[in-house]
A and B are shown apart, each in its own frame.
Chain A
Amino acid sequence: MNIYVCIKQVPDTETKIKLKPDFTWIDTSGIKWVMSPFDEYAVEEALRVKEKNAGSTVIVVSAGPTRVIECIRTALAMGADSGIHIEIPETADNNMTAKALANAMAKKETASVDLVFTGKEAIDDGSAQVSQLLAGFLGLPYVSVVLNVEYGAQSVKCKREIEGGAYEIVETALPAIIATQKGINEPRYATLPNIMKAKKKEIKTYKTSDLGISEGDQKIKFKNFELPPPKQAGKKVSGDPAAQAKELARLLHEEAKVI
């Protein structure tokens, strides 16, 4: 089985976001980059499938500037077999990214696709589009926000989170794309020997031109970045708990008018 995992490198969640002076993007200097947390579940799930299916291969694909190779190495250290890095500007939109990922997987020289995992969204732009766009480009079905998978020979049954604490049980034919949600598994840590081994694993690099990607594949562009306006200091409600509760209720009702 050839299992692909698409991962994205994003700023660590602790990052204080700063903007470029011309507001065209964030200022990336000094940022600590990590694998998007939801992608860790995707990598883990792929490794678990591999462990249950002898002879399987896990191939990690990531699109982005050269720095994303680090992120691919992290996945290789967790146990993935090889990597594909697609050199793409960090301003590439979801459409261009998904098309590049799809075209890399569809290349003759890369293994055929039996199963694809992605995180349910990347925590930087938070668009939650790539798994579905990938499905569009590869002509495969997809299931998003998946909490559990039962694997069959020709199909999988996924538990998909929807609103109000409800779930859908979705059955889909294979090959398919599955976007993982927190809770599906507990991602492993890379051990030191595996980190060493990962250094020797193969990472192929493609340029967008190798993959038939052109400027026209960018369908949206982010501009006019803004930081949220600093909040005015709020009101402190004082007194003993009874007085505080009474005053807060009054403020919410009469001043904020939200009750």
Chain B
Amino acid sequence: MGKILVIAEQRDGKLKKSTFELLGLATQSAPAQSANETYAVLLGDGVSGLTKELEQYGATSIYLIQDASLKFYSAESYTLGVLEAIKQASPDIVLASHSPTGRDFMPKIAASLGVGLASDCTQAQISGVNLKVRRPVYAGKATVEVEFLGQGPRLATIRPNAIGAPKPISAQTAKVIPISIQFTGLNTKVIEIVKGNSARPDVAEAPVVVSGGRSLKSAENFKIIEELADVLGAAVGASRAAVDAGYRAHRDQVGQTGKVVSPVLYIACGISGAIQHLAGMRTSKCIVAINTDPEAPIFQVADYGVIGDLFAVVPLLKEELKKIKEH
């Protein structure tokens, strides 16, 4: 039997889907006869209402750390809080999401504990106290298994969307354990969060990504990509050529020097499929390519290829998908 601590992640009082993925990993990989103990730690200000959901997804004990200073994420305060939860739970395995938050503070936890961290894992399996993970290297041009050396808890950050999302499990009650910490003498302070001006999901987290390339020819033309994305609740991605041309912000860039994504569905519109772009999206579960050039390398990784003009196909595809969605 293993003790697993899942670091819950919330923003603006809403739990991230990746938190449920982690809870699913912790609870479902346990053989029935030796159920894992699944702990969660939740940090924030006025977030106690979220413990119910953590419970529904299988957390049996929840450490609740609330403080006005936790209104915004900060590496220093999260590190203090998570270390305290680790001290109390003495887990065998600690899991966080490889999100902008998890990837920021988990290495600091590893340094504080003097243990190793497997980051950005796309496959994970738990049996007893053992954590077996694989992760991409060279932006997905290869994958490796990570072996943990030495003693101490095994730490991993898991890429959002890479492991399946679980359904809530049976009614059970979790023990909520409040922890109070004095967050004083910190060196860093988040002064402000500047919200993005888009309601669209983030490329790195979205289950569906619609991307456009240089062939879109202008920032305005990306409107047709956005409209298709909106029908699918998708994020909008871009090739580097589109970013460098100023059509999209760098945060939307998919690829080796942008974001590495593995959504359920990736639709590449007018993207040639350069090696640096493929590195960032080839692990997507289903890939669609729309391109006028039948020789474009993107077709080598596409599950469905449409040889055609994106300006004609994309708006029509939007209408067809809308019909299916509305059905």
Chain B 126-149: CB-based contact to A (< 8 A → 1; otherwise 0) = 000000001011111111111111
Q: Which one of B188, B204, B257, B308 lies within 8 Å of A244 (CB-CB)?
A: B308
List the A side residues contacting B249 at CB < 8 Å.
165
Q: Which of A4-35 contact B (CB under 8 A)?
A: 11, 13-17, 19, 26
* B303 interface hit (Cβ, 8 Å): yes
A82-90, A105-113, A123-131: which lies at the interface: A123-131
User: Given A13-B257, A166-B193, A256-B286, are A94 and B202 neighbors across the interface (CB < 8 Å)?
Assistant: no
Q: In the complex, are the beta carbons of A237 and B257 less than 8 A apart?
A: no
* A52 interface hit (Cβ, 8 Å): no
Distance in angstroms from A142 CB to nearest chain B CB is 7
Bound: A248/B208 CA distance, A: 15
Q: Which of A186-239 contact B (CB under 8 A)?
A: 216, 218-228, 231, 234-238
Bound: A248/B101 CA distance, A: 36
CB closest residue in chain B, given A216: B150
Greatest chain B CB density within 10 A among A128, A173, A250 is at A128
* A246 interface hit (Cβ, 8 Å): yes
Q: In the complex, are the beta carbons of B275 and A163 less than 8 A apart?
A: no
Q: In the complex, are the beta carbons of A235 and B303 less than 8 A apart?
A: yes
Bound: A154/B282 CA distance, A: 45
CB closest residue in chain A, given B287: A234
* A95 interface hit (Cβ, 8 Å): yes
Interface residues contributed by chain B, number (CB under 8 Å)? 101
A42-50, A64-72, A73-81, A133-141: which lies at the interface: A133-141
List the A side residues contacting B147 at CB < 8 Å.
220-223
* B71 interface hit (Cβ, 8 Å): no
List the B side residues contacting A253 at CB < 8 Å.
324
CB closest residue in chain A, given B276: A13
User: Given A136-B112, A235-B305, are A164 and B138 neighbors across the interface (CB < 8 Å)?
Assistant: no
Greatest chain B CB density within 10 A among A159, A165, A231, A256 is at A165
User: Given A124-B138, A125-B137, A170-B189, are A246 and B320 neighbors across the interface (CB < 8 Å)?
Assistant: yes
Q: In the complex, are the beta carbons of B288 and A248 less than 8 A apart?
A: yes
Bound: A26/B144 CA distance, A: 10
Bound: A102/B253 CA distance, A: 32
Bound: A258/B286 CA distance, A: 8
List the A side residues contacting B119 at CB < 8 Å.
127-129
Q: Which one of B111, B197, B285 lies within 8 Å of A135 (CB-CB)?
A: B111
User: Given A170-B191, A234-B305, are A137 and B111 neighbors across the interface (CB < 8 Å)?
Assistant: yes
Q: In the complex, are the beta carbons of B197 and A165 less than 8 A apart?
A: yes
Q: Which one of A123, A183, A235 lies within 8 Å of B256 (CB-CB)?
A: A123
Q: Which of A148-164 contact B (CB under 8 A)?
A: 157, 159, 161-164
* B241 interface hit (Cβ, 8 Å): no
User: Given A13-B275, A133-B110, are A163 and B138 neighbors across the interface (CB < 8 Å)?
Assistant: no
List the A side residues contacting B117 at CB < 8 Å.
94, 127, 129, 219-220
List the A side residues contacting B264 at CB < 8 Å.
258
Q: In the complex, are the beta carbons of B324 and A223 less than 8 A apart?
A: no
Tell me what chain B mostly uses at the interface: helix, strand, loop, or mixed: mixed
Q: In the complex, are the beta carbons of B103 and A128 less than 8 A apart?
A: yes
Q: In the complex, are the beta carbons of B107 and A169 less than 8 A apart?
A: no
* B220 interface hit (Cβ, 8 Å): no
Q: Which one of A123, A224, A249 lies within 8 Å of B139 (CB-CB)?
A: A123
Q: In the complex, are the beta carbons of A259 and B194 less than 8 A apart?
A: no
* A54 interface hit (Cβ, 8 Å): no
Q: Which one of B144, B250, B251 lies within 8 Å of A225 (CB-CB)?
A: B144
User: Given A126-B260, A132-B105, A241-B316, are A170 and B188 neighbors across the interface (CB < 8 Å)?
Assistant: yes
List the B side residues contacting A124 at CB < 8 Å.
137-138
Bound: A124/B141 CA distance, A: 10
B86-94, B163-171, B294-302: which lies at the interface: B294-302
User: Given A123-B257, A222-B146, A237-B305, are A167 and B324 neighbors across the interface (CB < 8 Å)?
Assistant: no
User: Given A13-B256, A221-B147, are A171 and B189 neighbors across the interface (CB < 8 Å)?
Assistant: yes
Q: In the complex, are the beta carbons of B139 and A166 less than 8 A apart?
A: no
Q: In the complex, are the beta carbons of B144 and A223 less than 8 A apart?
A: yes
Greatest chain B CB density within 10 A among A141, A161, A258 is at A258
Q: In the complex, are the beta carbons of A244 and B313 less than 8 A apart?
A: yes
CB closest residue in chain B, given A144: B104
Bound: A256/B299 CA distance, A: 17
Q: In the complex, are the beta carbons of B142 and A226 less than 8 A apart?
A: yes
List the A side residues contacting B74 at CB < 8 Å.
170
Q: In the complex, are the beta carbons of B143 and A226 less than 8 A apart?
A: yes
Q: Which of B103-128 contact A (CB under 8 A)?
A: 103-108, 110-112, 114-120
Residue ranges of B at the interface with A (Cβ–Cβ < 8 Å): 11, 72-76, 99-101, 103-108, 110-112, 114-120, 134, 136-150, 187-198, 200-202, 204-205, 208, 232, 249-251, 253, 256-258, 260, 264-265, 275-276, 279, 282-283, 285-289, 299-309, 312-313, 316-317, 319-321, 323-325
> 6 A-B residue contacts at CB 8 Å?
A17-B142, A131-B107, A161-B251, A169-B191, A170-B190, A244-B313
**A-B CB proximity, top 8 nearest:** A165-B196, A136-B111, A219-B116, A245-B316, A249-B320, A132-B107, A220-B116, A141-B187
Given contacts A128-B107, A142-B75, 12 further A-B pairs with CB under 8 A are: A126-B139, A132-B104, A132-B111, A137-B111, A144-B104, A168-B72, A219-B110, A241-B316, A248-B313, A252-B265, A259-B232, A259-B324
